[in-house]
Amino acid sequence: MVHWQAKAGTISIGIDIGWSKKSKSCALALRGCEPDAMPTSWWRYAPKAGAESIHVGLFRLDELLKFLPDFLTQLQGRVKDMVVVVDGPVGPDGPPIANRYVDSAFGRAQFNRRMQPSAVTSKDGPKYVAVTRQVIGKFFDAVGDKFLPPWPFSGVKGQFVYAETHPTVGLALLVPQQAVESLPSRNRPLRSPEKTFRAKSDWYWRIGARERVADALQAQVNLETHHERVAGLYCLAIAENLARHLESPLPTVAAVGGDDGVYVIMSDVAANWEVPVRDIGVRSGGLRPQAAFSSELPQVYPVRILTPAMSDKRSSVDDLDKHPTPGLEPETVRVVNDSDDMEFKGDRQLLVLSDNGGIWETQNDWLVDLDEPVCLKTLDSKQEVVILKRASGGLNSGQWVSVNKNQTPLELAKARGYQGKHLKKDDSVAIDVELLDCSDEP
């Protein structure tokens, strides 16, 4: 068993919430405590001079709920020195049950389609609220209180402090406003050699927000690309800045929203976001607008989501894809409504096919650390079950292959209308899939 030893001063914790039963969709980022041995599936980030190391672990929800009580017991007596920031909905009066002002405000005007906060009463909203309460509840148990309001509704130095943030919103505000048509989404992924961008938060991280977060953390985190670890690191950066804010009159964070909930963001927003954010309402802290900066955009190629003819299921004329992949009839291109990053917190994923024979973790980072075999069901009219195993080389290969030789990436693509001969970086396709329990499969 790994033992954690707390350092002197604040213990900062960032938590990215997920609820997948199969993939490790939760990330826990820590600073201010050290393990006696490096735990399996954890990452350590080297600090700059004078700072402490950062550790980030990936978990399934059940694993995280099991880890936290043991971890907090080891740090008994230090919970009041913790500042925890969670990517999940919390409220001043307990778990929110109605839609909140802050969620709708960050979905209107300039924010629309650049970030998509989800309403509490949306399809996955109640699940998101309940899971967040489960995770934060472990800290309440350790403190000995049934409920504590989040900051800024309560919380001062010397008490347990927690707050809510939203990585997609917060990372977007760290870079200048981007043209909507340039942004990736679930129905318009963008592929680079290092990653397939389908979540907007990953894109904002890549085009410059990562440098702001690295500066805030004083650590070499800017080369990270994994979606959950990125979100966990951003939450940790907010926790670090909130801890500084509690000790200094100079604002390093801003709580933006209304009486029913806020997002805590970094004060250093890009200059052209200042007025829109102030219009929503800054309840505590303050903004420090920063001049626009240049960033080299990665070379990317579009990825098409394939499905057998489902043109009758398009949601509206506005959803029509204007740039279908060469060789595909328009009706074979499934168009899905633009979505927020919350869709990736459960068992639904996007299977990116960019190689005739194998499936690469660089383009499907949700496969990292999964136990094999992995069972997938395609979310199209075929409802095809695909079973994956690691290619030769095991954990170090970074590649997965289909157990069924008739379900190679190329064959899966051809079964859905793909007419090319070679899947490659500039001719990649993807299929909506759901993770299954392999024990239920014959």
- 343, pLDDT greater than 80: no
> Does residue 361 surpass a pLDDT of 80?
yes
pLDDT of res. 441: 57
Q: Is pLDDT of 317 > 50?
A: no
323 band by pLDDT with thresholds 50, 70 and 90:
very low
Do the beta carbons of residue 76 and residue 142 sit within 8 Å?
yes
pLDDT in tens, 67-124: 999 999 999 889 999 999 999 999 999 999 999 999 999 999 999 999 988 889 988 8
Instruction: Tell me the DSSP string of 24-86.
Output: --EEEEEESEEESS--TTEEEEPBPTTPPPEEEEEE-HHHHHHHHHHHHHHTTT-GGGEEEEE
Q: What pLDDT is attached to residue 294?
A: 67
Residues 6+ apart with CB under 8 A from 171: 201, 204, 205, 209, 213, 234
C-alpha distance from residue 309 to each of 306, 339, 404 (Å)? 9, 22, 24
162: exposed, middle or buried (Cβ count in 10 Å: 0-12, 13-18, 19+): buried
Stretch (H or E) spanning 266: strand 261-266
pLDDT band at 321 (very low <50, low <70, confident <90, very high): very low
Inter-residue contact 83 to 243 (CB < 8 Å)? yes
Residues of the chain with pLDDT > 90, as a percent, come to 71
What are the start-end ranges of the H helices in 82-121? 101-105
- Locus of tokens 């043209």: 179
Distance CA 318, CA 63 (A): 41
Q: List, in sequence order, every residue forming a beta bridge with 433; answer none if it has no partner.
A: 349, 378
Residues 6+ apart with CB under 8 A from 306: 328, 332, 333, 334, 413, 416, 417, 418, 429, 430, 431
- Report pLDDT digits (tens) over 27-62: 999 999 999 998 888 999 989 888 899 999 999 999
Closest Cα partner for 287 from 350, 329, 322, 241?
241
In whole angstroms, give the CA distance from residue 58 to residue 229.
Answer: 7
Q: Cα(119)–Cα(107) distance, rounded to whole angstroms?
A: 10
Q: What does pTM read for this prediction?
A: 0.90
Read off the tokens for 36.
């006696």
CA distances from 346 to 25, 99, 223, 353, 362 (A): 7, 21, 25, 21, 20
